[in-house]
């Protein structure tokens, strides 16, 4: 039978460890943040404690059963919660990393609940390093592969689609599309900044693209990797 102090210690440790991972997700404005990760880790620890110790308190004559049977449901059940963080926009899928972090937190909670502290702490360290350091490294690698094209345009129906069709004409593949809300432009009067993360072909000529992008009604200005290309149509 697990002592009361040990039960409290395991629950507190799981909340702290879940909080560390949750803070990283919260800072990066992900669908599941601090509170969600704490609750997942804490709940998994509690279920593991119930599996090991809870049924023994019911009295003699009650079958002990298999401690792993109840805890095993956490592994499959957490998938339902993780699925809620996954979002699909067109061909882009986001939230997979957050769903995976929730799944790992459930495993960490089970480890703490069973008293497997070393495995839980080492796993937490690896998770934090992966989410923080590897993410930066990944962005640097992708930055060499993908380019950013930013367009200032009038907020009118179909303009993003027209720009996308033009990219396709020049064999430019769109990786991601973002509408920037902090660009300083007047959104109330219908001006917005659109950032396209794209992959360009080997023989790509940006000047040819910009000659045509300025012909799209509503496009005010555009730049490639921070370099503004002038509108030759106004010259």
**CB of 15 within 8 A of CB of 42?**
yes
Domain boundaries, the chain: 4-140, 146-234
Summarize pLDDT for 59-96 with one digit per residue, the tens: 554 555 566 777 778 877 777 776 766 665 544 556 77
pLDDT tens profile 100-113: 888 899 899 999 98
**146-234 is classed CATH 3.30.70.260:** yes
Among 47, 179, 167, CA closest to 105? 47
Strand partners, 148: 197
At 136-180, the pLDDT tens digits run: 666 666 555 678 888 888 888 888 888 888 888 888 888 778 777
What value does the mean pLDDT take over residues 202-231?
78
Higher pLDDT, 207 or 233: 207
Cα–Cα distance, 58 to 71 (Å, whole number): 18
* Interstrand relation of 87-89 and 92-94 (parallel, antiparallel or unpaired): antiparallel
Angle 24-138-18 from CA coordinates, rounded to 5° = 20
pLDDT tops 60 at residue 181 = no
The pLDDT of residue 20: 87
d(C-alpha 101, C-alpha 135), whole Å: 13
Q: Write down the pLDDT at residue 121.
A: 92
pLDDT, position 195: 85
Question: What pLDDT sits at residue 60?
Answer: 55
């Amino acid at each position: 039978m697990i002592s009361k102090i040990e039960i409290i210690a395991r629950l507190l440790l799981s909340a702290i460890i879940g909080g560390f991972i949750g803070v990283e997700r919260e800072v990066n404005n992900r669908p599941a943040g601090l509170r969600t990760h704490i609750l997942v880790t804490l709940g998994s620890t509690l279920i593991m404690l119930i599996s090991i110790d809870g049924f023994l308190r019911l009295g003699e004559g009650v079958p002990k059963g298999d401690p792993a049977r109840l805890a095993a449901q956490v592994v499959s059940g957490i998938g339902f919660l993780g699925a809620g963080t996954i979002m699909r926009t067109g061909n882009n899928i986001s939230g997979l990393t957050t769903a995976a972090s929730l799944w790992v937190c459930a495993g960490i909670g089970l480890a703490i609940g069973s008293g497997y502290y070393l495995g839980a702490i080492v796993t937490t360290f690896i998770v934090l390093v992966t989410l923080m350091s590897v993410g930066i490294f990944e962005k640097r690698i992708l930055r060499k592969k993908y380019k950013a094209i930013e367009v200032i345009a009038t907020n009118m129906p179909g303009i993003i689609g027209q720009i996308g069709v033009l990219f396709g004409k020049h064999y430019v593949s769109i990786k991601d599309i973002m509408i920037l809300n902090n660009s300083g432009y007047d959104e109330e009067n219908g001006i917005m900044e659109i950032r396209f993360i794209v992959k360009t072909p080997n023989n790509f000529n940006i000047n040819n693209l910009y000659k045509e992008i300025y012909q799209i009604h509503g496009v005010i200005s555009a730049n490639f990797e921070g370099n503004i290309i002038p509108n030759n149509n106004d010259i």
